Chain A
Amino acid sequence: MPGMTVLLGLTLPTGKLESPWERARYPSYALMHSPFKKTLDVLATSPCPAAGETLLHGLSAGDPSLRDGIVAALLRRRSARGIQEIIRRFESFGSDTRAALERQLPALSNAFRQCLIHGDEVLRRNALEMIRAFEDYSQWGTLVTLLESPGHPQRDRVLLVMRELADRLYEHLKFGREVQAEAAGEKRAADNQDERLAAGRETEAFRQDPIPAASRKFLRDAERIRIQTVSILEQACRNFTRHESPEVVECLLILADSENTHAQRALREAPEPCRKLAAEILRNSTHPAIVSLVYDGMALNYPFPGTVAAFELRTDAEFISHLLRHWPRKLSLFQHKNLKQVQKLAWINPEDLQFEIIPAALHRPLISLVLATSLPEDHKLAVLEWMVKHGSPEGRHAASDVLVDLEDNKVQEVVLEGLDSDDADVQAWATSQLRTRDVPQAFALLIQRLDSPMLEVQEAARRELGDFDLQRALLIYDHLDPHVCQCVGKLICKIDPQTISKLRQELTTTIRRRRIRGARAARALGLHEEIADALVLMTQDVDALVRRTAAEILADVSPAASGRSLCALLEDASPRVREAARMSLQRQQQLFGFHREAHPESLSLTAPSVLSDAE
């Protein structure tokens, strides 16, 4: 681009800025190299008092586009009156001038104090606004001093600024660089408690108005500022009777972490009204810092005064959400000790448990919480019962494990109720508990549930009856009554849909004894028709005993499936096999009658003649 130079990687215009576009693009550069800068340089450094007056005139009556330079020149002069006038005119400054002022905050800090203590209403108001906008944390002492002055005209505004500074400092401490982007895009949480809890939000924008983009910055020494501020607020709490401002106590609780022994001591040594106020704030404030304080306090050997009471009495969604979401996998010694002091939880009412708003992922921590406290037994039972009936799968399992330890009968009652639930998951859970909880007639109930229209229930019943499989049947079939065997056959097919294929595999095993036993078991269990093809294959086995067994069993199989094979066995090398085939064919005739397709080679002969020839 013509007329541009590159210096240290920056592209700068050279010479005059010809066009308004260039002047707009490089305003500071334009000012820096304009003749007006010479005037400002002279006025900023001149020992003549009239120079300051001239600059002030330019500030009020001059061209607004020159204001930035005039403000900078006034700040360079370090003139108290000049800075005061800057503060007085703060409301008329645009965002650029304000940003320039913010960069000169150290030069303004002393002036803020003077304006707040000795200034008129406009100066006080503007100084407070600048302290708020520029986050001048060095003014905490001054603000507290103002509060302690009786009848200060802008007390409410001072309190507002203090609260806002505390909120911003907390966010700097907690979130660092991300705080500004988060705060600008974050909306206020819904007023509805249910929505807040369901959303699981922890943070909430507490500022009255969003932070201007020009003020977004990273506070490098936030921790040091916090320590200094807490020290000032501790003293203010000790002198509570001078100001009686709840906001001071709240600011202390927002900024003091749970392990701050000085803050704890300050609150313990504070006057009675201050201690009561602190307890009330711990119970009611939904500020994330105070919610964390109550929760974190339970992990200390000596919690903040009022922490346990607040833990018991709070019912707000923010606290419950924070509590359950941060519940530890394993309680520390101090947590265990402090939680045992909790005799009640105000948000758990056995008559009206409103746990529907608690997300399913938090059900297990809820169970752990209830068990860790010293709630009355009926409260715990009510929670566990609700969880078993309505909770998530993890919560339900956790609750049922605990219920057994508490009261066995209750569990059975709950399980039986669960069997009739409309919820498939609940029914499935109840089905899975039938044998574990020794529910009477558990097997009968499980067998019924094999035919349930709900797939989850069927699966659960199959799992519970999984040990009644084909292998068990093969072991015991010869000890069972024939009728019972038949029933067992049907049952194992219901339990395991793969039973038939497993039985087929049994008939093809290399161990002869197992092949024979499998075939006989198939007949005893009434499954021989389903494996007719495998039995037919057995008739071609190399072992005569196997062939003979197959021939015997095929007698009960329909001729359409087995007749051909039996006829083939009539020509077998083994006389025992031939005999078994002949007997089976006779039996088939008795059972099924003569079947033409079964005996194609004897179409011209009658069936009885074929059989008599074979004899």
Chain B
Amino acid sequence: MNPTLLACRDLLILASRPPTVTQMLTPTRVAYIAGGLTALLLAWLGYSLLEKYRRWEQERLKTTEGLFDQLCHAHELSRAEKKVLAELNAPLPVEQWPLVFIDPQILLAQVRAGNQVGEHAELGEKLFGQRFAE
């Protein structure tokens, strides 16, 4: 028999037999698998959280507070400006909070009353444009 063939015989015999689990699961492979599963888990968690946040956001938009926030965001109001509006709305029920965006008389009344003239006037112009300045 050819010595080369003889030397390869054992290798061939070994190759023909299926590997065992322990032989397959090398530490590197285990690490890869664990990493992949973790990534999937994290992705799933992230998506779930995002979905949850979106649903929460959607629900919030249906509320008056959400509408108010949406309007403030649309007009790019700063925190200070939001605070001014919040103070203005404080004595009012929550359903009437968005009215300040639709009725310039509310801010105009504050301006005429002399309360924080500069801030209200500036805010009015930001919400209603030059009509408020007239």
Contacts and interface: CB of A to CB of B under 8 A. Distances in A.
Contacts of A11: none
Contact of B131 (A34, A41, A49): A34
Given A54-B99, A57-B99, A48 B64 contact: yes
Contacts of B103: 57-58, 61-63
B134 A39 contact: no
Nearest to A48: B67
B29 interface: no
A53 B129 CA distance: 23
A65 B103 CA distance: 11
A79 interface: no
A39 B130 contact: no
Of B98, B103, B126, B128, chain A has the most CB atoms within 10 Å of the CB of B98
Contacts of B104: 62-63, 66
Interface in A1-40: 16-17, 20, 23, 30, 34-36, 38-39
A54 B126 CA distance: 19
A20 B134 contact: yes
B71 A39 contact: yes
A116 B104 CA distance: 34
A53 B94 CA distance: 12
Given A46-B61, A61-B103, A51 B98 contact: yes
B54 interface: no
Interface in B111-134: 126-131, 134
A47 B62 CA distance: 5
A16 B64 contact: no
A16 B130 CA distance: 9
A48 B129 contact: no
A185 B99 CA distance: 46
A398 B75 CA distance: 86
A39 B75 contact: yes
B84 to A, nearest CB: 16
Of B127, B128, B131, chain A has the most CB atoms within 10 Å of the CB of B131
A50 B67 contact: yes
B48 interface: no
A35 B102 contact: no
Interface in B68-89: 70-71, 74-75
A41 B73 CA distance: 13
A52 to B, nearest CB: 11
B51 interface: no
Contact of A62 (B74, B75, B102): B102
Interface residues of A, number: 30
Contacts of B67: 42, 46, 48, 50-51, 54
B129 A42 contact: no
Contacts of A36: 127-129, 131
A35 B126 CA distance: 7
B105 A61 contact: yes
Contacts of B58: 47
Contact of A35 (B98, B99, B129): B129
A39 B101 contact: yes
A289 interface: no
B102 A39 contact: yes
B9 to A, nearest CB: 76
Nearest to B64: A50
A50 B98 CA distance: 8
A46 B70 contact: yes
Contact of A43 (B64, B102, B129, B130): B102
B38 interface: no
B110 interface: no
A34 B61 CA distance: 24
A391 B102 CA distance: 76
Of B58, B104, B127, B129, chain A has the most CB atoms within 10 Å of the CB of B129
A23 B130 contact: yes
A364 to B, nearest CB: 70
A35 B64 CA distance: 21
Contacts of B131: 34, 36, 63, 65-66
A21 B57 CA distance: 43
Nearest to B73: A42
Nearest to B97: A50
A48 B62 contact: yes
Interface of B: 58, 61-64, 66-67, 70-71, 74-75, 95, 98-99, 101-105, 126-131, 134
Interface of A: 16-17, 20, 23, 30, 34-36, 38-39, 41-43, 46-51, 53-55, 57-58, 61-63, 65-66, 70
